[in-house]
Amino acid sequence: MKAHSLIRSAGFVGLALALHGTAARADADTDLVKRGEYLARAADCVACHTASGGQPYAGGYGIESPLGTIYSTNITPSKNGGIGNYSEAQFDAALRHGIRADGAHLYPAMPYTSYVKLAPDDVKALYQYFMHGVAPVDGAAKATELPFPFSVRLAMAGWNMLFLDKAPFQPDPAKSVEWNRGAYLVEALEHCSSCHTPRNALMAEQSGQAYAGGALGAWFAPNITADPVSGLGGWSESEVVEYLKTGRVPGKAQAAGPMAEAVEHSLQHLSDADLKAIAVYVKDLPAIRDVHDQQPGHVFGSSNSDEATLRGVAGVSASNSAGGAELFSAVCASCHQPAGSGSKDQYYPSLSHNTTLGRGDTRNLIAVILHGVARKADGKDVFMPGFGADSLVNPLSDQQIADVANYTLKQYGNPALKVSAHDVAAAREGGEPPLLAKLPRLMPWLIGGLVVILGLVAWLFGRRRKG
């Protein structure tokens, strides 16, 4: 009897221990999935891997690259069309080196040049999240079909040889823990350089111009180095945090276009400590000055109005809209106010002391007039209608947009800047295409040669490394 009960007790204890172990492991797994979820937020995977109106992470979002539309893939854990069959090593290779499970190369629209610096623990957490924290969605996303020669994915092997720096993230022991956390977030997870660093003729980030500002379709991702004139030198740390958390800093700038998406989907969800770390690091980025910039973008302009000379004279017509003043009064002033001062709460921002009009680049001014603003952040829906062809308010012509842009620049911004109807037409087409994108039409054979040269370079590089 005694022995029997002993055995039974031992059994209970064993069972309890076993249960306890499972629970602890489950907790650990849940924590890992949770951490992966936070990291995926920080990396803003959802922005590109979700089509508008589609299932989260099911892919199919068209990234309008200058070389053609690149469709994001289904990264849900579905075994049919998703990445359900990926091992952790395969996941790691795709994430950090741009190589799919089938061995094909990804285009660097996937920011693996930044993710290459991810810590192994973070890759593990991301893998756990995508395997267990994301709902599987069956069906592959639309395939990417770039024109020849960009359709040759193998060319990316040569590109990677030239431009993919596989060195892991190295903390700087001379800097604070906070600075290093910021560096890791900025360089790896948030992949800020993908947009804020200008690209060279082969569409790779120019290392000597890190964070000096780059083009992104019709938009311009501005200089975020510590330079007080061209960059964020005039911003306080708390202003940088406020911008990342809310998408705006009254008297300085507002996020629109792709940055509004980054704030909405990613940055506003980061912990305050992480945002502070990003601000600390960004404020310490090596300063790069554009020689054309005379003063910071947010310094330009003051509120003023031409209403007194316009009102009751004539409406907007083909003959009198060239000044832009009538157009401003008709399409801008109802929200931005007749004097361009914005509403009192600055929900409708002031046009003076606004980097969109003061910065030495007019692309964001044109893009915001064409496409408007849509940003959900800080518990608010911020909306400005666009005035492009599909405008719900009032479609404007290229010349009208140029006129009203020039009027606002003269009245509230950097009066040295000028916008032409041609600039607006280019913005409608998604910005001036880089040389590389123009080449296929002009000289297909030259691109073919380039691929061969890249292949040769890659081969030579490989040989030298092995030797």
The least distance separating another protein from the CB of residue 429, rounded to whole angstroms, comes to 32
Q: By CB under 8 A, which span of 34-42, 119-127, 138-146, 300-308 interacts with another protein?
A: 300-308
How does DSSP assign 17-43, residue by residue?
HHHHHHHHHHHHHHHHHHHHHHHHHHH
**For another protein, the closer CB: 257 or 338:** 338
The least distance separating another protein from the CB of residue 188, rounded to whole angstroms, comes to 36
Asked if 308 is part of the footprint of another protein (rule: CB under 8 A), the reply reads yes
Whole-number CA gyration radius for the chain: 26
- Rule CB under 8 A: choose which of 8, 311, 418, 422 binds another protein: 311
In contact, 136 and 130? CB cutoff 8 Å: no
Residues contacting residue 288 through CB under 8 Å, at least 6 positions apart = 209, 210, 211, 212, 223, 225, 227, 230, 231
**For another protein, the closer CB: 189 or 333:** 333
Distances (CA, A) of 464 to 121, 457, 458, 460: 32, 10, 10, 6
Is the peptide bond between 149 and the residue preceding it cis, with omega within 30 degrees of 0?
Answer: yes
- Rule CB under 8 A: choose which of 161, 335, 425, 437 binds another protein: 335
Q: By CB under 8 A, which span of 104-112, 167-175, 327-335, 391-399 interacts with another protein?
A: 327-335
Q: Which among 464, 466, 457 has a CA at the least distance from the CA of 159?
A: 457
CA 431 to chain CA mean position, Å: 16
Asked if 305 is part of the footprint of another protein (rule: CB under 8 A), the reply reads yes
Q: Which among 2, 159, 133, 5 has a CA at the least distance from the CA of 57?
A: 133
The least distance separating another protein from the CB of residue 393, rounded to whole angstroms, comes to 14
CA distance 58 to 72: 9
**Total site size for another protein, rule CB under 8 A:** 19
Q: Determine the straight-line distance between the first and last CA of the chain, rounded to whole angstroms.
A: 75
Q: Which residue has the tokens 């002033």?
A: 333
- Rule CB under 8 A: choose which of 4, 5, 167, 344 binds another protein: 344
Asked if 379 is part of the footprint of another protein (rule: CB under 8 A), the reply reads no
The least distance separating another protein from the CB of residue 405, rounded to whole angstroms, comes to 21
- Rule CB under 8 A: choose which of 28, 334, 415, 459 binds another protein: 334
Asked if 167 is part of the footprint of another protein (rule: CB under 8 A), the reply reads no
Asked if 20 is part of the footprint of another protein (rule: CB under 8 A), the reply reads no
**For another protein, the closer CB: 45 or 310:** 310
CA distance 247 to 131: 31
**For another protein, the closer CB: 295 or 334:** 334
- Rule CB under 8 A: choose which of 166, 292, 380, 418 binds another protein: 380
User: Where would I find the beta strands (DSSP E) of 252-393?
Assistant: 253-254, 373-377, 380-384
Asked if 251 is part of the footprint of another protein (rule: CB under 8 A), the reply reads no
User: Which phi and psi angles does 63 have, rounded to 5°?
Assistant: -90, 115
**For another protein, the closer CB: 167 or 313:** 313
Q: Which among 281, 412, 403 has a CA at the least distance from the CA of 337?
A: 412
Asked if 314 is part of the footprint of another protein (rule: CB under 8 A), the reply reads no
The least distance separating another protein from the CB of residue 306, rounded to whole angstroms, comes to 8
**For another protein, the closer CB: 107 or 328:** 328
* DSSP 3-state of 151: coil
Residues contacting residue 212 through CB under 8 Å, at least 6 positions apart = 196, 197, 198, 223, 225, 230, 288, 290
The least distance separating another protein from the CB of residue 215, rounded to whole angstroms, comes to 32
Q: Count the Cβ atoms, other than its own, within 10 Å of residue 41.
A: 18
Asked if 338 is part of the footprint of another protein (rule: CB under 8 A), the reply reads yes
**For another protein, the closer CB: 80 or 304:** 304
Asked if 345 is part of the footprint of another protein (rule: CB under 8 A), the reply reads yes
- Per CB under 8 A, residues contacting another protein are 305, 307-309, 311-312, 333-335, 337-338, 343-345, 347-348, 380-381, 383
